[in-house]
Structure 1
Amino acid sequence: MTANLPFIYLDHIADTRFIAYGDSLEQVFENSALAMFHVIADVSNIMPEVEFDVEVSASDLEDLLVHFLSELLFLFDAEETLFGNIAVRKIQKTNDGYSVSAVISGEPIDSSKQNFRTEVKAVTYNGIRVEKTGSGFEAEVVLDL
């Protein structure tokens, strides 16, 4: 990991690929979201001025992560809010697969105040994985830029 961030970026042609780490599934989802928003802008000093509850379900953990990150990307665009605070309350197994419940907070987009880097168009299924490791969990994600 670089500069104490709980994720690393990997080389990928025309897209951005990263691996996020966490002690729990909840933490690896949080860190995946932070990695995605760090691609978009510097979110290290984002204040929690606006808050949203997020609930997503999917058939498996990989699908859940794609849906979760896609929902956050949608909220970024629709609400014109940059998120730097992600708190995943719970990931649980359901009859149909998995669900995630989270609270995200951030501040309204202000390009004069925030340092934007690049646009993320979509979260892809290319190479998506969520795995338990000897030291916790890791997730690999590719973002379409």
Structure 2
Amino acid sequence: MTQNTSSTPFVYLDHVADIRFIAYGETLEKVFENAALATLSVIADISTVQQKNEFEIDLETVSLENLMVDFLSELLFLFDAEETVLGSVSVEKVGTKQNENGDAIFFIKAAAAGEPIDSSRQNFKTEVKAITYNGIRVEKTADGFETEVVLDL
């Protein structure tokens, strides 16, 4: 299910109880950014969020799929722990390196920005409890990359 990455950054798909989406990007960085925006857009209207607080995100793990789950989970953590609604995400780098044992490790360096939660001003939509491993995939396509993610509501 590949789609033009320049005109459609993400699409929502039918799912029984949760929200499932596919995000697109010409690069790994862009597909991670678009997956973040799709996730954040389920929580709130991100177009109204001011970029007052910025958070650096540096993660490492054993696969691209784990990295996607960890990255999106970190955004949920920032929402809950920092009581901040996020409105933008910028991914600097997604790549691989070797750990001390010579095994490949995937990493991401990103930043997210937003403002303190104020339900009187912000338009919240629904709560996302978790990012699931159900059907998670990050794949190279003819147009770049795509990822499929299921959000537990």
TM-score (norm 1): 0.95
CA distance in 2, matches of 1:76, 1:120: 10
Answer whether contact 2:8 2:24 (CA < 8 A) is retained: no
Distance in 2 of aligned mates of 1:16 and 1:94 = 32
Alignment match, 1:127: 135
Which residue is equivalent to 1:92? 95
**1:48 has 2:36 as partner:** no
* Residue-by-residue CA offset, 1:17-64 (whole Å, 9 max, x unaligned): 000011100000001011001001110121110000001111010000
Q: Could you say what secondary structure the match of 1:114 adopts? A: coil
Letter in 2 for 1:135: D
State TM-score, norm by structure 2: 0.90
1:8 to 8, 11, 21: 11
Alpha-carbon separation, structure 2, partners of 1:72 and 1:119: 13
2:84 is the counterpart of 1:81: yes
SS of the residue corresponding to residue 119 of structure 1 reads coil
SS at 1:71's partner residue?
A: helix
Question: Which structure has the bigger radius of gyration?
Answer: 2
Unaligned runs of 5+ in 1: none
Residue equivalent to 2:149: 141
Runs of 4+ in structure 1 over 6 Å off: none
Secondary structure of 2:115's match? Answer: strand
- 2:126 is paired with a residue whose SS is coil
Instruction: Name the Cα RMSD after superposition.
Output: 1.2
Q: Partner residue of 2:42?
A: 39
- DSSP 3-state at the match of 2:73: helix
The aligned counterpart of 2:26 is 23
Deviation at 1:107, TM superposition (A): 1.0
Shift of 1:5: 5.2
Q: 1:92 deviation in Å?
A: 1.4
Deviation at 1:94, TM superposition (A): 1.5
How many aligned residue pairs are there? 143
Q: Does 1:66 align with 2:69?
A: yes
| SS of 1:44 mapped into structure 2 | helix
